[in-house]
Amino acid sequence: MRKDGMFIAVEVDDAIASDGEIAKRLAEVCPVDIFAAVDGHVEIVEKNLDECVLCRLCLDATDSDPTHPSPVRVLKLYDGESAL
């Protein structure tokens, strides 16, 4: 799942998007409410995307295996879609 704002896009792997625990964790950690837990699924709140403060808390909350790409990606659209 991916949603794009003007400056920031967020991608969440389908493999974790329907994990209720991860959905809750993401909703808790993001200081600007870019994630919501709805019916046990991760929702990306499009209207808040450009409020992202690049804090990495969503990455830290989901990226337990450094040898694999993170299941959550924050992409800087103003910088060639480079990943946070």
Applying CB under 6 A, which of residues 17, 56, 63, 77 lies at the interface with ligand SF4?
Answer: 56
Helix (H, G, I), strand (E, B) or coil at 36: strand
Q: Which of 23, 58, 62, 70 binds ligand SF4 (CB under 6 A)?
A: 58
Distance, CA of 35 to CA of 29 (rounded, Å) = 9
CA distance 10 to 4: 7
- Note whether 54 binds ligand SF4 by CB under 6 A: yes
Which position has the token pair 């400056």? 7
27 binds ligand SF4 (CB under 6 A): no
Residues at the contact surface with ligand SF4, assessed by CB under 6 A: 10, 29-32, 34, 52-58, 74, 84
